[in-house]
């Protein structure tokens, strides 16, 4: 890692510490229960997003690919990673569009002001209505399978479209360390399986029969996928594009959508691997893709946002069990379901702060960081060495800017926390609301409160 990258990681940590302290000073997070008043409305858990870090990550991504190709590169953000309208708008302002996989994600992108020309639709279960809407708006569409392509045939024949249209292929090159995030296995549910009998020939014919089919899409997976495997999947797609263009006698495929999937380092503040290192690797492994003949589309999610998020929660109680200290906090399975249920795949770094939001010091003691949910496995971290936590202290779960704000789990009817973006300048931290905290009234309404009598009274 270079000096500039080290400096950027250090700046991220400085901004984060300032944000934690400011969240306490400005009453964003509820204070120690021993000093709180009945009038206090602050929550004991909040989500924090580094707005400067988001902009820096977007700029670094754009610069990384600008250094390896002169052809257009259309960067999109995988909305599923952080489905928050203000975040999508900030990214769009930084030159990053939206990759959507559902009507809901498309609605979020539209609310954020992302235009159709900067949007890609990739859902594997698109309905006729979704396809019709996308093609009418001019949104890029990647068909997932033969049956979907047949639907698009009928829609294109009935109404001309300006949408770029592609086909997703599965290179079937294997998986990484997390099966659920490996999308290029022999039996993956995504795309046309290229190594199945007759599949490759069918793909070539599909393009030859459809002059309007001008894109090719692949995505090998994300967290847990080694970079060499990501590059291999893109190489397979490039070689297929070359084969198709040779077969039809012209460059029909003019754009390759290489997906996203760059894994994130959850072990430290270091941003590794970087988008720049990945772009250089792809240029080395698949040079023909970067010689200016092909435009590119990217769909990064976790690698843009993970490092920019922090979940901050108050320690409510501390105790010991079997001699091991346990800190009972307000952050658990409701905001970190993957970590709680699969800690070996999704470990989180935890930082300790005192009740005033200053980094906690002192000898480290192995202790459990437990959540508020009513089951024994609700642990953010187990036997983790930290300065001994006390009631009123704060714990920060780091690298939670991607997926952790998307996967709220309503176990025990725990309300969704508020999320706030922060910027720091002139030693002052300012917060902007990204998502308001869910109230108990909201929670009751979401759980059928308006229909309370229908099962007992029939109305």
Domain shared by 243 and 316, yes or no:
no
CB 105 within 8 A of CB 431: no
pLDDT at 6 over 80: no
Q: Any idea what DSSP says for residue 289?
A: G
Domain shared by 292 and 321, yes or no:
no
pLDDT band for position 426 (50/70/90)?
confident
pLDDT at 127 over 90: yes
Q: Give the 3-state DSSP-derived string for 400-422, with helices as H, strands as E and coil as C.
A: CCCCCCCCCCCHHHCCCCEEEEE
Predicted local distance difference test score (pLDDT) of residue 124:
94
**Mean pLDDT across 227-248:** 96
Residue 21 lies in a domain: yes
Predicted local distance difference test score (pLDDT) of residue 4:
55
pLDDT at 436 over 60: yes
Domain shared by 328 and 287, yes or no:
no
Q: Any idea what DSSP says for residue 360?
A: P
Phi and psi at 149, nearest 5°, equal: -60, -35
Domain shared by 324 and 277, yes or no:
no
Q: Which of 253, 271, 300 is the last residue of a domain?
A: 300
**Mean pLDDT across 297-321:** 98
Q: Any idea what DSSP says for residue 11?
A: H
Q: Which two tokens stand for residue 88?
A: 């999508």
HSE-CB for 409 with a 13 A CA cutoff: 18
Q: Which of 276, 300, 324 is the last residue of a domain?
A: 300
Q: What would the pLDDT profile of 341-371 be if each residue is shown by its tens digit?
A: 999 999 999 999 999 999 999 999 999 999 9
Closest CA to 391 of 339, 298, 310, 328: 328
Helix axes 51-66, 3-25, angle to 10 degrees: 160
Looking up residue 35, the CATH number of its domain turns out to be 2.40.37.10
Domain shared by 130 and 226, yes or no:
yes
Torsion 298-236-203-69 (CA) sign: positive
**Rg of the chain over all Cα atoms, to the nearest angstrom:** 24
pLDDT band for position 334 (50/70/90)?
very high
pLDDT at 256 over 80: yes
Instruction: Look at residue 223 and give its three-state secondary structure.
Output: coil
CB 29 within 8 A of CB 312: yes
Cis preceding-peptide flag for 112 (omega within 30 of 0): no
How confident is the prediction for the chain on average, in pLDDT?
94
Maximal C-alpha separation, the chain: 76
Percent of the chain whose predicted confidence (pLDDT) is above 70: 96
Domain shared by 196 and 315, yes or no:
no
Residue 60 lies in a domain: no
**Alpha-helix residue ranges (DSSP H) falling in 67-198:** 85-93, 103-111, 128-137, 146-158
Domain shared by 367 and 436, yes or no:
yes
Residue 76 lies in a domain: no
pLDDT at 3 over 60: no
d(CA 312, CA 317): 16
Domain shared by 296 and 312, yes or no:
no
Predicted local distance difference test score (pLDDT) of residue 10:
85
Residue 216 lies in a domain: yes
pLDDT band for position 118 (50/70/90)?
very high
Predicted local distance difference test score (pLDDT) of residue 174:
85
Q: What would the pLDDT profile of 384-420 be if each residue is shown by its tens digit?
A: 999 999 999 999 999 999 999 999 999 999 999 999 9
Q: What would the pLDDT profile of 7-48 be if each residue is shown by its tens digit?
A: 677 899 999 999 999 999 999 998 765 554 444 568 999 999
Predicted local distance difference test score (pLDDT) of residue 172:
82
**Mean pLDDT across 140-147:** 97
Domain shared by 312 and 212, yes or no:
no
**Mean pLDDT across 66-92:** 97
Model pTM score: 0.95
pLDDT band for position 55 (50/70/90)?
very high
Structural domains in the chain (count): 2
Percent of the chain whose predicted confidence (pLDDT) is above 90: 88
Residue 186 lies in a domain: yes
pLDDT at 261 over 50: yes
Map tokens 């870090």 to a residue. 53
Domain shared by 288 and 313, yes or no:
no
Domain shared by 254 and 399, yes or no:
no
d(CA 400, CA 23): 17
Q: Which of 300, 334, 364 is the last residue of a domain?
A: 300
**Mean pLDDT across 272-294:** 97
Predicted local distance difference test score (pLDDT) of residue 22:
97
Residue 88 lies in a domain: no
Residue 100 lies in a domain: no
Looking up residue 279, the CATH number of its domain turns out to be 3.20.20.10
Predicted local distance difference test score (pLDDT) of residue 35:
54
Residue 230 lies in a domain: yes
Domain shared by 296 and 399, yes or no:
no
Predicted local distance difference test score (pLDDT) of residue 427:
84
Distance from chain centroid for Cα 169? 22
d(CA 321, CA 325): 7
Predicted local distance difference test score (pLDDT) of residue 39:
46
Give the domain extent around 340: 3-50+307-446
pLDDT at 181 over 70: yes
């Amino acid at each position: 890692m270079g000096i500039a990258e080290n400096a950027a990681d250090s700046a991220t940590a400085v901004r984060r510490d300032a944000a934690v302290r400011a969240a306490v000073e400005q009453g964003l997070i509820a204070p120690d229960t021993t000093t709180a008043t009945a009038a206090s409305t602050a929550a004991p858990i909040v989500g924090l997003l580094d707005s400067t870090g988001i902009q820096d990550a977007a700029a670094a991504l754009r610069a990384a690919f600008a250094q390896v190709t002169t052809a257009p590169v259309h960067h999109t953000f995988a909305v599923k990673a952080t489905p928050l309208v203000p975040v999508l708008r900030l990214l769009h302002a930084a030159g990053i569009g939206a990759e959507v996989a559902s009507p809901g994600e498309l609605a979020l992108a539209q609310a954020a002001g992302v235009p159709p020309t900067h949007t890609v639709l990739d859902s594997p279960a698109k309905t006729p209505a979704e396809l019709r809407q996308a093609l009418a708006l001019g949104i890029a569409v990647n068909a997932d399978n033969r049956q979907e392509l047949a639907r698009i045939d009928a829609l294109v024949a009935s109404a001309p479209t300006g949408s770029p249209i592609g086909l997703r292929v599965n290179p079937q090159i294997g998986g990484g360390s997390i099966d659920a995030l490996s999308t290029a296995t022999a039996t993956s549910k995504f795309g046309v399986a290229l190594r199945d009998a007759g599949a490759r020939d069918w793909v070539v014919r599909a393009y030859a029969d459809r002059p309007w089919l001008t894109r090719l899409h692949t995505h090998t997976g994300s967290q847990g996928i080694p970079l060499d495997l990501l590059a291999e999947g893109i190489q397979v797609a490039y070689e297929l594009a070359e084969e198709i263009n040779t077969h039809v006698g012209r460059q029909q495929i003019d754009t390759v959508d290489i997906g996203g999937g760059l894994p994130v380092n959850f072990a430290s503040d270091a941003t590794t691997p970087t988008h720049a290192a990945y772009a250089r690797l792809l240029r080395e492994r698949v040079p023909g893709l970067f010689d200016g003949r092909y435009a590119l589309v990217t769909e990064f999610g976790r690698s843009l946002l993970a490092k920019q998020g922090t979940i901050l929660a108050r320690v409510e109680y501390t105790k010991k069990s079997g001699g091991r200290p346990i800190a009972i906090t307000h952050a658990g399975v409701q905001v970190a379901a993957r970590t709680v249920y699969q800690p070996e795949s999704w470990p989180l770094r935890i930082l300790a702060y005192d009740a005033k939001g200053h980094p906690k010091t002192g000898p480290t003691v192995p202790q459990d960081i437990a959540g508020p949910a009513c089951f024994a496995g609700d642990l953010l971290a187990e036997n983790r060495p930290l300065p001994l936590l006390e009631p009123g202290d704060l714990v920060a779960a780091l690298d939670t800017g991607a997926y952790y704000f998307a996967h709220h789990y309503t176990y025990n009817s725990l309300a969704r926390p508020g999320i706030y973006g922060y910027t720091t300048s002139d030693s002052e931290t300012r917060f902007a609301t990204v998502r308001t905290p869910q109230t108990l009234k909201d929670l009751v309404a979401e759980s059928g409160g308006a229909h309370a009598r229908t099962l007992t009274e029939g109305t």
